[in-house]
Structure 1
Amino acid sequence: MGFKYLNKEQDIFDGDDGEDVYANEEQLQARLAYFEAQLAGLSENAPTEDRIKNLLEIGRIQVERYKGADAWEKAFTAFTLAQDDELWELAVEACDVMFLSEGPDALVALGHALWLGITFPIDPEITVAMLQHLVEESPEEADTRAVAATVAHYITSMRCGEEDDLTFFTSQMLASVADKHSHVTDQSTFDLWRRTLELDKPDVFLKKLSGAIDQLVEGKWWIDKDKIRTKLDNENQN
């Protein structure tokens, strides 16, 4: 896997997508009413996935309305349902809503999102989004930013391939992090920076990320990691 320094004309974290950040309350209320009606209309035999998706939509709307407590409640319910049915991608999305709700355990939720998003081969775009949260939550000079950006590029390289747009995006993210971390501005300095931080060694940077996740969760695990690992090992052996 190659790591190429890609400079860019603007910081990817400071861009404006041209869309309004906030929808007006009337629109949000209409969307909320729609998804609440959808959720209420589900029969007992409805697929769990449908229930989870409606809960997540309600949670996201409540985040936009600054109703963090309600967003957390809906997202945690969605997470519990997803965990019970081993719908891990939806579980990560639920953790994302909890993180965005800015509740007391928001960073615990982010830690779960990171662990699940890396452990399971879910949509890499979702995993990258979780790693970007970690980048943005960490101080610019912190090695955790470098590790998170490196893992994001590693994930996209493995799951998407070197030529994919998402891999290009993570290359940009890594370049931005390198610049802010150590004022890296060219390929040779970038290569030296990577070697110095051992970002060229997957076994090292993945272990460092694991340590960062443990710091986020602080022992408040909602999942049985050992049980999940054992099941994955058994599946890989078959």
Structure 2
Amino acid sequence: MKLLSVIVVTLSIAACGSSGKKLSEGQYRVAKGDTLTQIARKHGQSVRSLMSMNNISNPNRIHVGQVLKVQGGTAGSAGTVASSGPLPNAGSSTVQQPAPAKASSVAAPRNINLVWPANGTSRRGTTTSTTQGVYVAAARGTPVRAAAAGEVAYAGDGLRGYGNMLLIRHDANFLTVYAHNERLLVKQGTRVKQGQEIATMGSTGTNAVQLYFELRYNGKPVDALRYLPKK
């Protein structure tokens, strides 16, 4: 049975006031414009697991102000996303931007031991939303490897701009993103070891053969180059 069917239809959300109660860890309040796909992605879990946690039978029936149980992360509130912003547009032109956008190098409160997810020429993202991530360019088919041990939280091509993408959850806080793959070699729910081949490099969702890699802490992107070994 297919582990995940990505929902691409926009939810029709009825307006209603939020309760105003402070949310606890593992809760999220639905904001205007939210979809289950977006909420699941922000918290590094599948739509199916989100529906199961909240006894939701119809993914199109959620409403503004509704409090959902979510996997890890910090509480959200109506109109805001406290645990993370949406994943950035990971697409990139073959022409490199002339200079990186100005953005501070963000560190996580604690460390994680990573290995490089692929061999190749690396560069930092050049847009405001990708400066914490890393692009690795190499030949098509180059192995893409898990930067740390963990469980595959998402495997698919349902997010525009990412092509064939994997999300791997390493613990309650850390998540890594692997986008633009040619082939995905693991499925959602698979436990992977550090350095295990999980995909092959490609150009899905972009026009250059490259891997877009990102490290997130509680859903928020942090500077991946701080945690990757020096080349």
Counting strand residues as a fraction of each chain, which structure ranks higher?
Answer: 2
Give the TM-score of the pair, scaled to structure 2. 0.25
Which of the pair is proportionally richer in helix?
Answer: 1
Q: Which has the higher contact order (CA 8 A, sep 6+)?
A: 2
